[in-house]
Amino acid sequence: MRSIGVIGLGQMGVSIARRLIAAGYPLTVYNRTKNKADSLLQMGASWADSPGELVEKVDVTITIVSDNQAIEKLALDEGGFLNSLTPAKILIEMSTLTPATVRKLFSKIREKEAGMLHCPILGGPLDVYGGRATICAGGPKSVYTSVSSILEDISSTVHYVGEITKATVMKLSLNIMLTHYFLGVASSLSMAKAAKLPPYLIHDILTRIAEPVVQKLGDKILNQEESITFTLNNFEKDQRYFLEAAAELGVHLPTNEAVQKLALEALDKGMGNLDFSSLAALLLKEEATD
């Protein structure tokens, strides 16, 4: 069994490390704040004093830290992991990052002739702990093939999507939807609460309709279906009514303000009698300016 290292023991890193220990891998860990490793060391993990020392000790290194700045610091600072990477080593970067940072890191790691994948995760620490997260994997196919069993030990759902930044963007793209979901649920429940409506009933109805709505709208957009079920004129009217009712109840709906702005843009372009799903075309710059 190959030895693995985990750099970054926040919410996600600890869950990943626990799964790897449970799967029987010899594990070494490093974190800027050492005491976050305590429970893992008690479970049998070893400690490395720096990211560089960790990479020297293991075959495969997983990094999962906050952001672009954190990963660059851990790679490049004194004791950083970049200088310890050699051709036999593989880095699996799992943080949510931008394509520019992933590209930069990938090019530096290629100079060392080491292998690298970007494998950001969809799902929180409890999903990881339960093996239910979704991993988007990008990078050279041969590198992916050599570590796919490790990724599958972290989560049963792993999608290999091709070149390295494809996975970076796939994760960001999926998270956009989740962000809207979150704000959507928060907005609906805030308005329900302000109007003294039964919040759990609203929550139940939203839960029941969420999956079929996502499926139906996704199908409509992907298949460019032109059938009209709800016009943009009516869609814009609804946005206005949400905002008017919310103002009366003292609820702030910033995302619906942005949606109304987009709907008005569509009406200005003469799209009022088209189906509301044609708003998707406005998001694709090239199509919108055609």
- Nearer to ligand NAP by C-beta: 161 or 191? 161
- Nearer to ligand NAP by C-beta: 122 or 191? 122
Residue of minimal Cβ distance to ligand NAP: 10
Cross-strand pairs, 158: 135
CB of 30 to ligand NAP, least distance (A): 9
Q: What is the DSSP string of 107-171?
A: HHHHHTT-EEEE--EES-HHHHHTT--EEEEBS-HHHHHHHHHHHHHH-SEEEE-SSHHHHHHHH
- Nearer to ligand NAP by C-beta: 166 or 220? 166
Among 3, 23, 26, 36, binds ligand NAP (CB under 6 A): 36
Query: What b/e readout covers 250-274, taking b as 16+ CB neighbours within 10 angstroms?
Result: ebebeebeebbeebeebeeeebeeb
Tokens of 39: 């429970």
Contact status: 173 vs ligand NAP (CB under 6 A) = no
Are 90 and 147 in contact, with CB atoms under 8 Å apart? yes
Stretch that binds ligand NAP, among 64-72, 104-112, 265-273, 281-289 (CB under 6 A): 64-72
Are 75 and 48 in contact, with CB atoms under 8 Å apart? no
- Nearer to ligand NAP by C-beta: 74 or 279? 74
CB of 135 to ligand NAP, least distance (A): 10
Alpha helices in the chain (DSSP H): 11-22, 38-42, 51-57, 68-76, 99-111, 125-129, 141-154, 164-194, 199-222, 232-249, 254-268, 279-283, 285-289
Query: Quick one: which of 55, 50, 119 has its CA closest to 86?
Result: 55
Among 28, 31, 63, 239, binds ligand NAP (CB under 6 A): 31
CB of 120 to ligand NAP, least distance (A): 7
CB of 254 to ligand NAP, least distance (A): 22
3-state secondary structure of 273: coil
- Nearer to ligand NAP by C-beta: 31 or 256? 31
- Nearer to ligand NAP by C-beta: 12 or 191? 12
- Nearer to ligand NAP by C-beta: 164 or 266? 164
Stretch that binds ligand NAP, among 28-36, 203-211, 221-229, 235-243 (CB under 6 A): 28-36
Contact status: 73 vs ligand NAP (CB under 6 A) = yes
Dist CA 104 CA 36 (whole Å): 29
Dist CA 136 CA 158 (whole Å): 6
Contact status: 124 vs ligand NAP (CB under 6 A) = yes
Contact status: 121 vs ligand NAP (CB under 6 A) = yes
Contact status: 51 vs ligand NAP (CB under 6 A) = no
Among 20, 65, 92, 151, binds ligand NAP (CB under 6 A): 65
Binding site for ligand NAP (CB under 6 A): 8-13, 31-33, 36, 64-66, 69-70, 73-74, 95-96, 121, 124-125
